[in-house]
Amino acid sequence: MLFIYTLDNFMQLRRVVVTGLGALTPVGNSAPETWEALVNGKNGIAPITAFDATNFKTQFAGEVKNFDITSMMDRKEARKLDRYSQFSVWVADEALADSGLDLDKEDRSRVGVIWGSGMGGLISTESEVIIFAQGDGVPRFNPFMIPKAIPSIAAGQISIRFGLGGPSYSVSTACSSSSHAVGSAFDQIRLGHADVLLTGGADADVTYTGVGGFNSLHALSTRNDSPETASRPFSKSRDGFVLGEGAACLILEDYEHAKARGAKIYAEIVGVGMTSDAYHMTAPDPEGKGAERVMRLAIKDAGLEPEQIDFINTHGTSTPLGDVTEVNAIKRVFGEHVYEMNLDSTKSMTGHLIGATGAVEALACIMALKEGIIPPTINHDPEDVDEEIDYRINFTFDKAQKRDVHYALSNTFGFGGHNACLIFKKWEE
């Protein structure tokens, strides 16, 4: 039993459970579609369709397919939302429906939104600047440009759409944004500041600026001759990450509140860790000290020992330095137990969804706990061996593996040295 000490007394921390899921990814337009695709090793990477990428070093990405927000709202309202906000309200709507929450029976001041986005409304900013630059120099900007572009607006749009008066804010920590958001939501509920929180994140960065900017950093794979195999975590020939887009939403709920309304429960969230590398603007600390500490903090927060973790959904971006650094940090944390666990990287299928990636990968952990199956890491050639990676570790290459998973850990690390780690527990009364 967990307690927090205050000057006046000990306060019992509340248990927090996951009661709803929503997803929109390069491999599926709902949480069930995404999970089925991940288990089956479906690849969501293909040549870019959003714009003509002929002159770019990278000409492929993980795009959301066949998405039509007008099936949810009218076209006039949709034009007031950037694509990342459209993704956000889409997955929030799915997750709320999945949770079975009847908001008319809830105290909406106890229901809120904590959302993550690395880039915010990049498409809206980019398009308005292009229009201005190509014009006559007279500033004619869309009056919705700023509210479409700011990284906080998705949380606001979700709150407005569903009339949620609880805590509402956004977290922006690059690639770890939605993991930080989920961790913050966990804290808000277990401390008693809210009963239900919609949490997760979204990004839609497959744009001229997104692809061009990451290309200028030499961060993206340039395997244009074989985009479907470009994201190849833990393989020697990896040459950068594959940019993706999407969103995911988790409904986190106080256990007693969920129990009282007879909610179905997917899993329990039991631990969170947050650290900084304090090292470099874009590169991870080569010794992985921040990554090691964030896992240790999450395990301690959960009241566990390392040997109790069964599965790690790694950050696993398919970058030359990042993969080695993470694996070595994991080995230091788990010692010999590392050879008893399953590791994987679902980015091999979805690409890197930037601010949405933590929420999507949390969903993968939650479903692995519920269904007893680990999604694979695809695109690995057994002869494509990196001497710096220990292949005695089970990276779940090629095919999903059945396993009774009791505790699952999700790592996310972002530019600026932002690290977040989440731990979920198989649901048991």
Distance of alpha carbon 112 from its chain centroid, rounded? Answer: 19
Hey, CA dihedral for 31, 33, 39, 45, is it positive or negative? negative
Cβ pair 90, 70 in contact under 8 A:
no
Phi, then psi, of 216 in degrees rounded to 5: -65, -25
Q: In the structure, what pLDDT confidence band is assigned to residue 70 with cuts at 50, 70 and 90?
A: very high
User: At residue 113, does pLDDT exceed 60?
Assistant: yes
Rounded-to-integer distance, Cα 331 and Cα 292, Å: 9
The CA-CA-CA angle for residues 297, 300, 306, to 5°, reads: 100
pLDDT at 6 over 90: no
Closest by alpha carbon to 181, among 113, 253, 114, 119? 114
Please, are residues 352 and 63 in contact by the beta-carbon 8 Å criterion?
no
H or E element: which one contains 362?
helix 357-371
- Is the pLDDT reported for residue 7 higher than 50? no
What domains does the chain contain, in order, with CATH numbers?
A: 16-260 (3.40.47.10), 272-426 (3.40.47.10)
Asked if residue 87 has pLDDT above 60, the reply is yes
* pLDDT exceeds cutoff 70 at 3: no
What does the pLDDT average to over 210-237?
Answer: 97
The C-alpha atoms of residue 114 and residue 36 are separated, in whole angstroms, by 27
3-state SS assignment for residue 46: strand
Confidence of residue 283 (pLDDT cuts 50, 70, 90): confident
Report d(CA 189, CA 254) in Å as an integer: 6
254, with CB counted inside 10 A (0-12, 13-18, 19+), is buried
Instruction: Let me know if 421 is a catalytic residue.
Output: no
Catalytic one of 175, 249, 365, 421: 175
Instruction: Tell me what pLDDT residue 285 has.
Output: 87
Q: Residues 180, 315, 380, 418: which is the catalytic one?
A: 315
Number of CB atoms found within 10 A of residue 156's CB: 18
Q: 357-371 and 31-39 helices cross at what angle (nearest 10)?
A: 70
Number of C-beta neighbours around residue 262 at 10 A = 7
| Amino acid letter for position 322 | G
Band (pLDDT 50/70/90 cuts) for residue 168 is very high
**Structure confidence at residue 10 as a pLDDT band (50, 70, 90):** low
Q: Is 146 exposed, middle or buried (0-12, 13-18, 19+ CB in 10 A)?
A: middle
Task: Record the tokens describing residue 58, joined without a space.
Answer: 């990278």
Which residues sit opposite 113 in a β-bridge? 168, 198
Tell which residue, 363, 359, 358, 365, has the closest CA to residue 408: 365
d(CA 289, CA 180): 19
Which tokens hold the place of 216? Answer: 């200028």
Instruction: Look at residues 390, 271, 411, 403 and name the one whose alpha carbon lies nearest to residue 345.
Output: 411
| Beta-carbon count within 10 A of 426 CB | 18
- Does the annotation mark 175 as catalytic? yes
In this prediction, residue 286 has a pLDDT band, given cuts at 50, 70 and 90, of confident
Tell whether the model's pLDDT for residue 8 goes beyond 70: no
Note the pTM of the prediction, 2 decimals.
0.96
pLDDT surpasses 80 at 152:
yes
User: Rounded to whole angstroms, how far apart are CA atoms 158 and 166?
Assistant: 12
280 annotated active-site: no
Q: Of 257, 352, 380, 418, which residue is the catalytic one?
A: 352
Nearest CA-CA partner of 323 in 239, 419, 416: 239
Q: Where are the beta strands (DSSP E) in 118-231?
A: 168-171, 196-203
CB-based contacts of 218: which residues, under 8 Å, 6+ apart?
240
Q: What span, in angstroms and rounded, lies between the C-alpha atoms of 285 and 328?
A: 12
Element of type H or E holding 12: strand 10-12
Give the chain's mean pLDDT.
96
